[in-house]
Every structure is written in C-alpha cells, then in structure tokens.
Chain A
Amino acid sequence: DAGVIQSPRHEVTEMGQEVTLRCKPISGHDYLFWYRQTMMRGLELLIYFNNNVPIDDSGMPEDRFSAKMPNASFSTLKIQPSEPRDSAVYFCASSRTVGTEAFFGQGTRLTVV
C-alpha cells in the first residue's frame, strides 16, 4: 500500500480564495482524521470520520472550514474564503479501527498571502 496520500504538497494562495486539500486514506481503514499543525498551537484535530460519516467536527475553527468524505477512498478539506491565519501544515491520517495507530500523510503546507 502506498500509505496515506495527500495533495497538493504545497499550496500558496491569496487571501479570499478557495482552497481544497485532498486525501486518499489507506484502503481498509475505517477512520480518517484531519489535523492542522502550527508553531503556536501544535497539532490540532479538526474533524474525523468513521466509515465516511463525520463523527466529531468540534475542532473545525469556523464556518469557513468544511470537510467531506464522499467515499471510503477520498476526503477533502475546504477553506472558503481563506485567510492568512489559516497558513499551516494540514495532515490527513487514517486508522483501521478503534484504538489502533493512525498513519499520516506527508501533509499539505498551506500559505495564504
């Protein structure tokens, strides 16, 4: 298996633009997590899915952020409109079941100017 695949690896966009981050989890994994990493706040859990259903989105910072998982092999995290304070590294991770380890993608480094 190729592991968790995220795209793009780097994204630079202007304030106000829509940004879409993509994730392909490991096949057979039931859980998918989106995290954001910054120097100030560390690693924050934004949202996670179980069997394509959002379970907890309490970490999503505000209505500008949305996430979807239309099928077991694809998820998106969208920011609309983007702001400079959204600049961070966004990680996607998947795990097989409850209590098991999560496997992380390489991350998307987002810069909003």
Chain B
Amino acid sequence: GDSVTQMEGPVTLSEEAFLTINCTYTATGYPSLFWYVQYPGEGLQLLLKATKADDKGSNKGFEATYRKETTSFHLEKGSVQVSDSAVYFCALSSRGATNKLIFGTGTLLAVQP
C-alpha cells in the first residue's frame, strides 16, 4: 500500500544552518505531496504542497520539489531560525480508491541559538 518514509530525528542545528529533511514515498498513481509542521502543544499546520511531478512547493523560506523519478519530496531551508524548532511531517494524499492522507513518522528539528 501507499507509504511515506522520512528521516529519523532529532535533527539538531545551529541557527542559520542549512536544513534538509529527507522524505520518500511509495504510491500507485500520482499522489499529492505535503509537508506539515507541528509546534509544541498544537495541531498540524500545512507548510507547503506539490500536486504533480517537478512542482516546487515553498513557504516561509522552506522548499520541496516533487521528484517522480526518485519518488522523493525532501524539505530544505537555507538558513534556519530558533523559531523553526518543531516536528515536521511528510505526507501524501493518494488519488486512488482509498483517497487516504498518509503521514510519515515525523522528524523533530531543534535549532540552537
């Protein structure tokens, strides 16, 4: 079945460092792909999305490109801030019969000043 695999955390970075969180997926057909962020004590918020191959989603300095050939959707940011500390979830929404929204296990990012 459809699934999402993302890198284990925690990821600890210094402020202004470059961030990459890897995400790969398995799906039949062409799913939509998402990154969500969860701050402590809150629900998940959509960070960015891409709906077809080669699309680039971007928001708040974060970017991710839908790579069909490598079935990947890696999250990147050029310069992280302390306020970016949160848990990041990669997710896919299949377009097949199930239409499920499936999440990866989440990656905790801790940014130190």
Q: Are B99 and A98 in contact (CB under 8 A)?
A: yes
Q: Does B25 contact A (CB under 8 A)?
A: no
Q: How many chain B residues have a CB neighbour from A under 8 Å?
A: 23
- Interface residues as binary, A93-105 with B (CB distance below 8 Å gives 1, 0 otherwise): 1010011111111
Known: A98-B93, A99-B32. A93 touches B101 (CB 8 A): yes
Q: How many chain A residues have a CB neighbour from B under 8 Å?
A: 24
A99 CA to B91 CA, complexed, in Å: 11
Instruction: Tell me the B80-105 residues at the A interface (CB within 8 Å).
Output: 89, 93-95, 98-103, 105
Q: Are B49 and A101 in contact (CB under 8 A)?
A: yes
A55 CA to B99 CA, complexed, in Å: 9
Q: Are A56 and B100 in contact (CB under 8 A)?
A: yes
Q: Are A43 and B89 in contact (CB under 8 A)?
A: yes
Residue of A nearest to B52 (CB): A99
Which of A31, A95, A99, A103 has its CB near the most chain B CB atoms (within 10 A)?
Answer: A99
Q: Are A56 and B93 in contact (CB under 8 A)?
A: no
Q: Are A99 and B100 in contact (CB under 8 A)?
A: no
Q: Does B46 contact A (CB under 8 A)?
A: yes
Q: A102-B46, A106-B43 are in contact. List 19 more A-B contacts (CB 8 A).
A: A42-B103, A42-B106, A43-B44, A43-B106, A45-B100, A48-B99, A50-B99, A55-B99, A91-B44, A99-B51, A99-B95, A100-B32, A101-B49, A101-B93, A102-B101, A104-B36, A105-B43, A106-B42, A107-B42
Q: List 27 A-B contacts (CB under 8 A).
A: A4-B43, A31-B99, A33-B101, A43-B106, A45-B101, A45-B102, A45-B103, A48-B100, A48-B101, A50-B99, A55-B99, A56-B100, A93-B44, A98-B93, A98-B95, A98-B99, A99-B31, A99-B32, A99-B93, A99-B94, A99-B95, A100-B93, A101-B34, A102-B93, A103-B46, A106-B43, A107-B42
Q: Which residues of B contact A (CB under 8 A)?
A: 31-32, 34, 36, 42-46, 49, 51, 89, 93-95, 98-103, 105-106
